[in-house]
A and B are shown apart, each in its own frame.
Chain A
Amino acid sequence: MTRAVPASPRPRSSRTGSAGHALPWPVWVPAVVGFGLIAVPVAGLVLRADWPNFLSLVTSDAALDALRLSLQTGLTSTALCLLFGTPLALVLARSDLPGLPVFRSIVLLPLVLPPVVGGLTLLFLLGRTGPVGQLLDAWFGITVPFSTAAVVIAQTFVAMPFLVVSLEGALRTAGDRYEAVAATLGASPMTALRRVTLPVVLPGLVSGAVLAFARALGEFGATVAFAGSLQGTTRTLPLLIYLDSQDDLDSAVALSLLLVVVAVVVIVGTRTRDASGVR
């Protein structure tokens, strides 16, 4: 994370150069086991796939609807995470509000909470008989559950902490020296935030957004509990995969691979942009 220091060539050369031979052997064995634990099941998915029918399985009506919905809701909730999570991370990292540790642990709650619990809490709050849902229904005739908006809310709920944690870490590592310098040079707090703070933590912001998007893309429990499951409206890829796993395993496997591909594209795509964006 020290690579946020302005453009000296040193950190980058140390990143590509040294590594490898310096690692002691006790690191390698568990590292290989850990890698295998993640990679082998995915490889198993590849072996189990019904390749001759793969294309027709992932281009069925239900699959395309689910893919479109997943991308659409995932991007929307990532945008919402950026909109609300960035200021939240700034407050957590930079302000001196009393009781900040308590606020932080509340913000991190969705990380430890089973997603289905998150979905139920949203349902109890925003459902038709919930305290807020009741008012929305009476005043505006709005029913939140079973709508695409409900999917976005559920995804934002579970994904937001990923962005906040990532960005808060970047902000703390960067420190506030540059902002102090900017202030002595006459920059207003807003200018310092815009021209100094945010550019310095941009890599942290990007990786936080990627994590949030990935989490939103894989979201299942909160969505199924809060938004329900209906093709084209609320049935995202993970929901369709679980449904298909009940009676059409070939389709479930093919769709799982589709989700893996989307996730890999996102991770690889933003990794390269992340690295070039350090400047």
Chain B
Amino acid sequence: MTRARRRVLAGLVAAVALGVAACGGSGGEQQAPPSRTLTVSAAASLTDVYGRLKTQFEQADPGTEIRLNFGGSDTLAQQIVQGAPADVLATASTKTMQTAQQAGRIQGQPVTYAANQLQIAVRPGNPKQITGLPSLVGPQVTESVCAPAVPCGAATEAAERAAGVTLDPVSEEQDVRSVLQRVTTGNVDAGLVYVTDVRSADGQVQGIDFPQATAQGAAQSYLIGAVTGSQNADLADSWIRFVTGPQGDVALTQAGFQLK
């Protein structure tokens, strides 16, 4: 082996070692200022509201960092059951919170603090003149919905049952944001999403109310609970009080949630 080649090899080894060290030690630099970090696992539909509340909370309590981990409620609950390091769990369904509770991962009783309803999202101006679920049936209107396996899909099924119609979607998406994207990009005429999703689209879609949105199983409950064994139990409690308190109420209402 020539010296040059050996040097290249040594460089490679050093690079790999550095890479591994960087992977392992990413938490190290954040400990520099004396601060506390609260990790909140929250349903993806809470992205905007929790983002706003995080800023307010951190301003009111300097030295605290709220780390938000967004995802599907099922995924988040599973992660916490598997021992993922989180201090607070905020789900978009009762069922997923129960999953974490039954595994003994939730401290005390979770709080139900908000609800969300389905709306039909259509292009601005409602070019296909959609008035309710029955007007979505048939080939002249293409629609996208959530797959029945995910919470928004279960809600869609409940609404369909209540209306006595069976929709013929061109696609069953994995999450509600994908349904919204199909409508905003103009690839479908309509999509079943939550009021909060319509609100977040900033006028790119229009929301149509329909009576079955309040049917049994169609509305969605939002629950929040502290994770068992959290290192920051008191901080977790104050975040939960903050979200369920007056400031949380304002942010939730603005986003289109109903308060419980």
Residues of A within 8 A of B (CB): 123-124, 127-129, 143, 145-146, 224, 227-231, 234-235, 242-244, 246-249
Contact = CB atoms under 8 A, between A and B. Distances in A.
Interface of B: 72, 74-75, 78, 142, 144, 147, 149-150, 169-174, 178, 182, 185-187
Given A246-B74, A248-B149, A230 B170 contact: yes
A176 B174 CA distance: 50
Given A123-B187, A127-B187, A229 B147 contact: yes
A146 B178 CA distance: 13
Given A123-B185, A123-B187, A230 B174 contact: no
A128 B142 CA distance: 12
Given A227-B171, A235-B172, 11 more contacts: A127-B186, A228-B144, A228-B170, A228-B171, A229-B173, A231-B172, A234-B171, A242-B174, A243-B150, A247-B149, A247-B150
Contact of A243 (B144, B147, B185): B147
Contacts of A145: 170, 187
Nearest to B9: A26
Given A228-B171, A228-B173, A229-B147, A246 B187 contact: no
10 contacts: A123-B187, A129-B185, A145-B170, A146-B171, A242-B174, A246-B72, A246-B74, A246-B75, A246-B150, A247-B149
Interface of A is mostly: loop
Contacts of A224: 174, 178
B170 A243 contact: no
Nearest to A251: B149
B96 to A, nearest CB: 9
Interface of B is mostly: loop
B145 to A, nearest CB: 10
Given A228-B144, A229-B147, A243 B174 contact: yes
Contact of A230 (B72, B149, B171, B178): B171
A230 B168 CA distance: 10
A143 B185 CA distance: 14
B174 A246 contact: yes
B170 A247 contact: no
A248 B149 CA distance: 8
B181 to A, nearest CB: 9
B187 A129 contact: yes
A128 B169 CA distance: 16
A243 B32 CA distance: 41
Contacts of B144: 228
A243 B182 CA distance: 18
Contacts of B75: 246
A145 B185 CA distance: 12
A155 to B, nearest CB: 17
B124 to A, nearest CB: 13
Contacts of B147: 229, 243
A244 B174 CA distance: 10
A244 B187 CA distance: 25
